[in-house]
Amino acid sequence: MKRSLKIISVFFSILFTFATIIPVFGSEIYSIVYEREGHTITTPNGTAVAVWVALNDYSEEEKLSTRVETEERFPGIEFLGEVTGRYNCHSYAWYQRSTSNPYWLDSIDAFLADPNYMETTTPAVGDIIVYYTPANNVNHSGVIDEVLSGTSNGVCGDANLYMVVSKWGKRALYRHRGDYCDYVREHGGSSSYVKYYHMHLYTYTDRTVYVHTVNCSCMDPITEPHTWVQIGIESLFRCTVCGYRSTFTPANPENVSAEIWMQLMTRATMEDGATFTLGNMTFCYMDGQYYIVTECAPDVVIPPNVME
Ligand SMILES: [Zn+2]
Ligand SMILES: [Zn+2]
């Protein structure tokens, strides 16, 4: 018993000695210490997601050797940002497309569930490519940098039709053809197919008292009524979609002449958002009631989903 314990302890001391002398097993296992507590980011709709922050990073020597090893295996990939353990592919593609991104993001589930994103089969520049394993697990994320012409070669679906910018794990940031990276099964990875995601970046234009026009690169502009929510005490309304503000006064017989009231009741359309002008007074039918539109002032529009 005593003897076997000693053998085990010698075995472990040898193992630890090697682990400290040789910092690399395979290609990318170094000792970076991460802190998780207190670090969260949010998806465009405000869902909080826990992230990791690295307390240290690789030495210049380690960065160089990792880079050389990767670029020898994948000749032709374009180096865009240094080897670092601070941020990973998901954080880069979904949260902050910058080499100074400080966060490591394990899971993109909260982003995929955010309605600001939409799956697409015709991605454009700026959209996201996600690599999946045959068991449908997310394996890697990247950003579409260029749409190429040609036909699919079947390696990870039609990934060869796109140039992608992606962070390769704890290695460097690269620009590469979608089917040509470490994550693809044909190149030693575990991904067998990809999906593409578009993030809506809505802007609101042509705002009048009654409507706004929604614009995004993925669609034709849509003009639609505001979605009012009452703010303040009585008569200030705000569009929850575009931020437009308007002051309405309920149109009651007490504050509208009998003549106008009769015309309103007989001639105006009783549909939400319908408007009706009599002389210098404008009425709006909303939630079963007429309102007199007395004033309107556009807010500063802050699109809810602008990436940093
Ligand atoms: Zn869109
Ligand atoms: Zn609006």
The 3-state secondary structure of the chain reads CHHHHHHHHHHHHHHHHHHHHCCCCCCCCCCCCEECCCCEEECCCCCEEECEEECCCCCHHHHHHHHHHHHHHCCCCEEEECCCCCCCHHHHHHHCCCCCCCCECCCCHHHHCCCCEEEECCCCCCCEEEEECCCCCEEEEEEEEEECCCCCCECCECHHHEEEEEECCCCCEEEEECCCCCCEHHHCCCECEEEEEEECCCEEECCCCCEEEEECCCCCCEEEECCEEEECCCCEEEECCCCCEEEEEECCCCCCCHHHHHHHHHHCCCCCCCEEEECCEEEEEECCEEEEEEEEECCCCCCCCCCC
Q: How far apart are CA 276 and CA 291, in angstroms?
A: 10
The CA 58 to ligand 1 mean position distance, Å, reads: 38
Q: Quick check: pTM over 0.85? A: no
- The closest ligand to the CA of 224 turns out to be 2
Task: Give CA–CA dist 39/25, Å, rounded.
Answer: 29
**How many whole angstroms from 199 Cα to the centroid of ligand 1?**
6
Which ligand sits nearest to residue 214's alpha carbon? Answer: 2
pLDDT at 18 (0 to 100): 39
Q: How far does residue 161's CA lie from ligand 1's centre (Å)?
A: 21
- Span from the CA of 190 to the centroid of ligand 2 (angstroms): 45
Let me know: does 103 contact 95? Beta carbons within 8 Å.
yes
Q: What is the mean pLDDT of each run of 10 residues along the chain (308 residues)?
A: 45 40 43 88 94 94 95 97 97 97 97 95 96 97 97 96 97 98 96 96 84 90 85 70 75 67 73 72 70 51 36
Count the Cβ atoms, other than its own, within 10 Å of residue 139. 20
In angstroms, the CA 255 to CA 261 distance is 9
d(CA 229, ligand 2 centre) in Å: 10
Q: How far is the CA of 152 from the centre of ligand 1 (A)?
A: 25
Provide the residue ranges of all domains of the chain, joining segments of one domain with +. 28-199, 203-297
| Nearest ligand by distance to the CA of 215 | 1
Cα-to-centroid distance, 215 and ligand 2 (Å): 12
Q: Measuring CA to CA, how many Å separate 135 from each of 73, 157, 184, 189?
A: 26, 15, 14, 14
The ligand placed nearest to the CA atom of residue 299 is: 2
Contact 182, 70 (CB under 8 A): yes
Give the Å distance between the CA of 228 and the centre of ligand 1: 23
Closest listed ligand to the CA of 124: 1
Specify the pLDDT at position 259. 75
CA of 123 to the centre of ligand 1 (A): 11
